[in-house]
Amino acid sequence: MREPINTREPISTREPISTREPIKWTPNTMPHFDGGLSLANLLSREEIEKARAFHRSIPGYLATPLAKLDHLAAHLGVRGIYVKDESRRFNLKSFKMLGASYAVARYIAQRLDTDIAELSYEDIVSPETREKLGQITFYAATDGNHGRAVAWAASRLGQKSVVCMPAGSSLARLENIRAEGAEAWITELNYDDAIRYVKQLAERDENGVVIQDTTWPGYEDIPGWIMQGYCGMAEEADEQLRLYGEDRPTHVFVQAGVGALAGAVQGYYANTYGEDCPITTIVEASAADCVYRSALANERVRVEGEMNTMMAGLACGEVCSLSWDVLKAKASFFVSAPDWVTARGMRVLAAPLRGDESVVSGESGAVGLGLVSIVLTSPDYADFRAALKLDEHSVIMCFSTEGNTDPEAWRRIVWDGLCPSY
């Protein structure tokens, strides 16, 4: 097994990013259209239900909680704030298994020339299926959560996995991936180059398959299946919101790395609510704000370099083309957020107002809630607050997509105040 190489200084010892780095935002001024196949077919109700049916067949599958933060909402002057808590998704502390497990299952169904609707988890792990398939090795690039999910899915389906991580990745997350049975190591590459590297590895392996949520020419099926899997999180949140007595959110804040999650969530709400779709804001790390820059340029823009941010899960330099089709058609606003925004969100969720429940949210999970807390309180962003039409009638949905997947980094931010927001 390869050992980590060229690991950058751990987040726990880095200097805080200047709190004077501003939040940047832009409305979606791109010509709108219907989203094409990304909405009409890829993220249709039928396809989402196939993914959810497969997930429900996995032993131990449960919906993750939707935290209802009434006291925070009252404090910030809105009707409701709700946070989908993905720290409790199996033992993986991340939503990523929804996409990875479904993509692996869809690939196996394709190999068996069978509709995934006719296969359950038990069918796929059966000795008969394994005998038909032979040995498959699933390859992935990751900052941690996606690779761990791919390794988790592969091991439970009786297959192998190989996972490569970009330079500077967390050693704790590396060990989590290895604990799921993967061969894994940290490279000297940034995230996008790591994807290209695993693609080369898989091409040299006659039984190799890349499981990635980004696209390139000829590689769209698997990213599409991952997005379908992610839609289950949004639908769960919607079902839970109605149990709390709300018909729908008025505002959705969702983070983007390559954009597959953002595209899936946006696509779900657009398909579900049509012209009554919530105002949706896509939030990125300022060091890797490819979606924000693409929105300004009205075309896909690539961010190069190290993309050094504590939001490791969002450190991606190029937006997935399938997601881009959805986001440019339906998203309302795009935001480039510095690290202090997510640090604030992590602390607000970890130490809630009395009466609200605590949510353990990791560096890539809290940026949406952090943004909400700032926009609703800071005079510096009064113009953005007005553009969003946030007021006492607003019902806000955020997605905390990971827990403390690197516990030491989480403690340094939440306990010790790394990267303050003042």
Give the number of other CB atoms < 10 A from CB of residue 199.
Answer: 16
Look up tokens 């997935």; give the residue: 320
Helices (H), 188-320: 191-204, 221-243, 260-273, 290-297
Percent helix / strand / coil, the chain, rounded to 5 = 45, 15, 40
Residue 361 in contact with residue 349, Cβ under 8 Å?
yes
Q: Is 389 a catalytic residue?
A: no
Q: State the first-to-last Cα distance of the chain, in angstroms, to the nearest integer.
A: 44
Instruction: Please pick, among 50, 96, 160, 330, the residue that the annotation labels catalytic.
Output: 96
Instruction: Please pick, among 143, 192, 289, 406, the residue that the annotation labels catalytic.
Output: 143
Give the number of other CB atoms < 10 A from CB of residue 159.
Answer: 24
Q: What is the spatial distance between Cα 100 and Cα 229, in angstroms, rounded to a whole number?
A: 8
- Contacts of residue 367, Cβ cutoff 8 Å, sequence gap at least 6: 255, 283, 285, 311, 314, 337, 341, 342, 345
Q: Would you state the structure tokens that stand for residue 75, as one six-digit string?
A: 């404090």
Q: Is 328 a catalytic residue?
A: no
Q: Is 218 exposed, middle or buried (0-12, 13-18, 19+ CB in 10 A)?
A: exposed
Q: What is the spatial distance between Cα 15 and Cα 244, in angstroms, rounded to a whole number?
A: 42
Active-site residue set: 96, 143
